[in-house]
């Protein structure tokens, strides 16, 4: 089966070299029983690749189970994965098989594997090494024959350094790595994806297809897309439903792109070439803070410029040295405001020369932690305490947001 056949079968759209490489690796590794680790940012389509691997493997007639490790509470994750015996804990009214027992002879997909607690990681390592597991509340060792495919948007090497992920488990899972590119790294696919989504929604809601003019298309392609393909699809659906005019211009599209001015934030790339993680997303949040600070400085430049324009009539009375200082305040306000001496401006219409006040120093906390706390508070306020939407706005996982709320003692 060719790459194009695989794309059609699994609904994959795009022709970037990185995407084709990921599909080719999945196809090549499928007939083996090697463990696979899929990495990439949230919304890049990692959930499709375990299905490709399963369908082209000798296990395709066995069970395929997808487990979102980040969505299962820490107290019940072991029971979900490995099962439990009757009476092993409060509420365990009967014995229950876990996913590894149910998927025996098939494939299990562990999504967001980086969110697993350390104790569960030790149990998973045993399954990968020997195929053995023990139900919660039991002492009987059981065997299972399961092919494990894992996925994460967490930077696992960084998590290992912080003691949040086992190094031995990482190497067991990462036998064959598949790296999915972020949407901004496959610009040639963005407009094609948007057209496909727009056509699908037009058919679904029985309405004419929306179209972008040249300027809107340019913005679409150059936008940063923190949420990747998932965010692009969401935007296409919003516009399809809300806009009456089917011809979408630049101004209309901008209303649907949050923080579009920050669309050129630098992409964070790991040493192995992959990008994105919850740790990386925290760094993205800090980048966002820094860019907001830069915007504030640009606004300050404008204020200084307006002041100079307002006092244009007095400029003839300013010495050359003072004029240089004013220009410096306009070009580099963040430097000039901390170094400027008092200016004497001679206004020919004034009785006395006007002396400037002492240098204006804007006292603002430069602590990244304070900025991060402030942005989290604003996001929670914006979405009225709904963590799911606040986390999506901030570009971090719900679990990371929950940890940050506790860390900064933020009252919701």
Write down the pLDDT at residue 111: 96
Regarding the domain delimited by 277-304+365-412, which CATH topology (the fold level of the hierarchy) does it fall under? Arc Repressor Mutant, subunit A (1.10.10)
Q: pLDDT confidence of 347, banded at 50, 70, 90?
A: very low
Q: Where are the domains of the chain?
A: 3-181, 184-262, 277-304+365-412, 311-364
352/31: higher pLDDT: 31
Q: What is the mean pLDDT of the chain?
A: 83
Whole-angstrom CA distances from 338 to 299, 304, 363 are 17, 14, 11
Class of domain 3-181: alpha beta
Percent of the chain with pLDDT over 70: 74
Query: Residues 140-169: what's their mean pLDDT?
Result: 96
Task: Considering only residues 364 and 48, tell me which one the structure prediction assigns the higher pLDDT.
Answer: 48
Tens digit of each residue's pLDDT (9 = 90 or more) over 230-277: 999 999 999 999 999 999 999 999 999 987 544 444 444 444 444 444
370 band by pLDDT with thresholds 50, 70 and 90: confident
Q: Report in angstroms the alpha-carbon separations of 30 from 51, 58, 344.
A: 10, 8, 77
| CATH 1.10.8.60 correct for 184-262 | yes
Q: 65: pLDDT confidence band, cut at 50, 70 and 90?
A: very high
String of b and e for 317-343 (b: at least 16 CB within 10 Å)?
A: ebeeebeebbebbbeebeebbeebeeb
Does residue 322 register a pLDDT over 70? no
| 84 vs 388 pLDDT, higher one | 84
Distance CA 115, CA 69 (A): 6
Q: Which of 112-126, 155-169, 211-225, 325-339 has the lowest mean pLDDT?
A: 325-339
Pick the residue with more confidence: 317 or 73? 73
The pTM is what? 0.63
- % of the chain beyond a pLDDT of 90: 60
Q: Tell me what pLDDT residue 385 has.
A: 84
pLDDT of 306 reads 64
Cα–Cα nearest to 191, from 216, 169, 208: 216
Among 93-107, 179-193, 253-267, 319-333, where is mean pLDDT lowest? 319-333
Instruction: Find the mean pLDDT for residues 199-204.
Output: 96
Q: Does pLDDT of 155 surpass 70?
A: yes
Burial (CB count <10 Å: 0-12, 13-18, 19+), residue 131: middle
Per-residue pLDDT for 92 more than 70? yes
The two domains 184-262 and 277-304+365-412 share their CATH topology (first three levels equal): no
3-state secondary structure the chain: CCHHHHHHHHCCCCCCHHHHHHHHHHHHHCCCCCCEEEECCCCCCCCHHHHHHHHCCCCCCCCEEEEEHHHCCCCCHHHHHHCECCCCCCCCCCCECCHHHHCCCCEEEEECHHHCCHHHHHHHHHHHHHCEEECECCCCEEECCCEEEEEECCCHHHHHHCCCCCHHHHHHHCCEEEECCCHHHCHHHHHHHHHHHHHHHHHHHCCCCCEECHHHHHHHHHCCCCCHHHHHHHHHHHHHHHCCCCEECHHHHHCCCCCHHHCCCCCCECCCCCECCHHHHHHHHHHHHHHHHHHHHHHHHHHHHHHHHHCHHHHHHCCHHHHHHHHHHHHCHHHHHHHCCCCEECCCCCCCCEECCCCCCCCCCCCHHHHHHHHHHHHHHHCCCCHHHHHHHHCCCHHHHHHHHHHCCCCC
């Amino acid at each position: 089966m060719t790459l194009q056949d695989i794309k059609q079968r699994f609904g994959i759209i795009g022709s970037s070299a990185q995407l084709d490489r990921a599909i080719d690796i999945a196809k090549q590794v499928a007939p083996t029983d090697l463990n696979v680790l899929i990495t990439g940012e949230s919304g890049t389509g990692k959930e499709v690749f375990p299905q490709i691997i399963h369908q082209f493997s000798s296990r395709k007639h066995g069970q395929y189970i997808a487990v979102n490790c980040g969505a299962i509470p820490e107290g019940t994750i072991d029971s979900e994965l490995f099962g439990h015996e009757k009476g092993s804990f409060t509420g365990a009214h009967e014995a229950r098989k876990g996913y590894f027992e149910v998927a025996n002879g098939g494939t299990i997909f562990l999504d967001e594997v980086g969110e697993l607690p350390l104790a569960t990681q030790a149990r998973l390592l045993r399954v990968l090494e020997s195929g053995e597991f023990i139900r919660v509340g039991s002492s009987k060792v059981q065997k299972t024959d399961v092919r494990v495919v894992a996925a994460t948007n967490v930077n696992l090497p960084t998590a290992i350094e912080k003691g949040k992920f086992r190094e031995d488990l990482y190497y067991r899972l990462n036998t064959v790595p598949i790296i999915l590119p972020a949407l901004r790294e496959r610009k040639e696919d963005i407009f094609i994806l948007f057209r496909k989504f727009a056509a699908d929604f037009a058919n679904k809601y029985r309405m004419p297809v929306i179209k972008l003019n040249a300027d809107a298309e340019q913005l679409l392609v150059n936008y940063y897309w923190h949420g990747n393909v998932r965010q692009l699809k969401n935007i296409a659906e919003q516009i399809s439903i809300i806009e009456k005019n089917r011809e979408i211009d630049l101004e209309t599209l901008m209303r649907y792109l949050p923080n579009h001015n920050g669309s050129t934030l630098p992409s964070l790339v790991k040493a192995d070439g992959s990008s994105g993680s919850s740790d990386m997303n925290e760094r993205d949040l800090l980048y966002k803070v820094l860019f907001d600070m830069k915007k504030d400085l640009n606004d300050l430049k404008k204020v200084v410029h307006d002041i100079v324009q307002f006092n244009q009539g007095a400029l003839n009375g300013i010495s050359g040295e003072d004029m240089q200082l004013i220009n410096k305040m306009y070009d580099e306000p963040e430097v000039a405001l901390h170094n400027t001496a008092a200016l004497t401006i001679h206004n020919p219409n004034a009785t006395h020369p006007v002396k400037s006040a002492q240098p204006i120093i804007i006292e603002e906390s430069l602590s990244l932690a304070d900025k991060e706390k402030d942005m989290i508070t604003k996001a929670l306020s914006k979405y009225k305490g709904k963590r799911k939407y606040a986390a999506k706005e901030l570009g971090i996982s719900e679990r990371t947001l929950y940890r940050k709320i506790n860390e900064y003692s933020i009252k919701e």
